[in-house]
Amino acid sequence: MLKTSTISILPTFSKTTVIVVGVTSDDSGLTISSSQLSTEQLQSLELELLGVSAKPEQVKLLPFEGLGAVALVGLGSGENPDLRAVSGSIARAVRSFENVVIDLDLKSGEEVLEVIEGFSLSTYQYTEYQAATKSGIKTTSLCVVTGLAIDQAQLTRISILAQSVHDTRDLVNQPPNHLYPASFVASVEAGVKGHGIEVTVWDEKSLESEGFGGIAAVGKGSTRPPRMVKLDYHPKTAKKHLALVGKGITFDSGGLSLKPAESMVGMKYDMTGAASVYQAVVAIAKLGLPIRATAWLCLAENLPSGSATRPNDIIKIRNGKTVEVLNTDAEGRLVLADGLSAASETHPDLIVDVATLTGAATIALGHRYAGLMGDPEAIAKVDTAAKTVGELVWPMPLPNELRTLLDSPIADIANVKIGNRAGGMLIGGLFLKEFIGPKSASDKTPISWAHLDIAGPANNDSAAYGHTPKGATGAIVRTLVQLAEQVSAE
Ligand code: BES
Ligand code: MN
Ligand code: ZN
């Protein structure tokens, strides 16, 4: 656990300490930003010769008398650097030092908090299946030099958020032989203990008997049966209700519509939505936000077998609609259909679902942006929340004319249009929209709803950048918590 603090004058330090200062550049060359370490020794450094640059997020470690090192971090021109990303890069570069002091001449309390947040998010590694000697992070304390007053409550808030992001990454990084619906449930039951969250679990029998035909159908090809989990944080202070629905496919082979070998690698990440909504509710509860927050975790393993769902099977979703399954690899929308129906029955003020739903999302938006669909009000709320916490989402349309592609001659809707490749992410969104229920018995307008397709940002296949590690990223968890804060203040 990282200990974070602020201090107004440089602390005494030793060889286990690294002090971080900033470097900016303009026409006249490189400048070390104002810091309490601006001694002659620092000013006399031949920065260019030593390979220092102001390139954003580049970090250069140099020996320094009395210290483990001094770290020079690039801040570009110094205008509005992305401080969470800068600080995340610092954390990775200085991970071999126990004590880190950041002295960046920060201008506001918000900037200080962004630095602490980026650093905390970045202090992560998944070592469960590695020899202990390989683990690299030695950093145990971060101290930010600032004259500004920072509340302990704000530091606690950051550590709660970082813990939830780290716990999401841990779950997602778990290999699929160890993480399956029942073990996911066990992990959730342990993880919510003591936080005032009520847990309800449906097993394969109650899923069938209570009409959760989507989750049952997707899960029945595996010897490890499906589950639905409802988490309910309902404080007395709550005036609003936010419902979160997460896709939790612990491994997506495609089912009988089997994926090719290369596309199957990485499909352990297909439960990221469920892990994210689970950890968002944990953070919301730990923060004691005055809002009711529920999470619906739709858990199944999508495998081919003699008991698997076939293309052409017709299944019935919780809300009574029938679906002709034409491609068993479009399974996420089937489990979410049940989750969205069940969430709708509780008449929340807002529903947000989170899913690694389509490969098409990465074709459209790459690996850093989540696709954001839904009604305009919900889109605006999620967009604002994401901007506030520095996460990347991009609004996408739900064009009505594409809906006819899902017409089925014998069921209410089909799960895909065979042979169609255009607008795959949008068609996924249009399918989900069918399962959003009415606001109330008397008001038939649909409940406000947003859909986040996180197929791109859930997982980082390339090198770490900013506070984003390789592998599971924990993207969108902070956006969901921020959204709860926003909605609770409405
Ligand atoms: N889990 C996949 C989506 C996915 C693909 C996520 C690649 C991350 C990377 C989803 O269940 C899926 O297989 N979607 C199909 C939908 C298609 C059959 C309409 C896809 O994207 O190919
Ligand atoms: Mn699939
Ligand atoms: Zn999937």
What residues have their beta carbon closer than 5 A to ion ligand 2?
A: 252, 329, 331
Which of 262, 358, 369 is the best mutation target for the ligand 1 pocket, counting ligand atoms within 8 Å of the beta carbon and taking the most? 358
Q: Which of 60, 95, 240, 259 is catalytic?
A: 259
- CB neighbourhood size of 148 (10 A): 15
- What's the one-letter identity of residue 146? T
Q: pLDDT digit string (tens) for 218-244?
A: 999 999 999 999 999 999 999 999 999
Atom of ligand 1 nearest to the CA of 252: 1
pLDDT averaged over consecutive 10-residue blocks of the chain (490 residues)?
93 89 91 81 83 92 91 92 97 96 95 98 94 81 95 97 98 98 98 98 98 98 98 98 99 98 98 99 98 99 98 98 98 99 98 99 98 98 98 98 98 98 97 98 97 98 97 98 98
Alpha carbon of 156 to ligand 3 centroid (Å): 35
Residue with tokens 């506070």: 467
The residue contributing the CA closest to ligand 1 atom 7 is 359
Domains contained in the chain, CATH given: 3-150 (3.40.220.10), 158-488 (3.40.630.10)
Quickly count helices (H) and strands (E) in the chain: 14, 20
What pLDDT does 437 receive? Answer: 98
What pLDDT does 134 receive? Answer: 63
What is the model's pTM?
Answer: 0.98
Residue among 434, 456, 449 nearest 371 (CA)? 456
| One-character DSSP codes across 82-102 | -HHHHHHHHHHHTTT-SEEEE
The set of protein residues with a Cβ atom below 6 angstroms from ligand 1 is 252, 270, 327, 329-332, 356, 358-360, 416, 424, 455
- What's the one-letter identity of residue 343? A
Please, where are the H alpha helices in 390-423?
none
- Annotated active-site residue 259? The verdict is yes
- CB neighbourhood size of 183 (10 A): 16
Q: Contact 287/234 with Cβ under 8 angstroms?
A: no
- Annotated active-site residue 478? The verdict is no
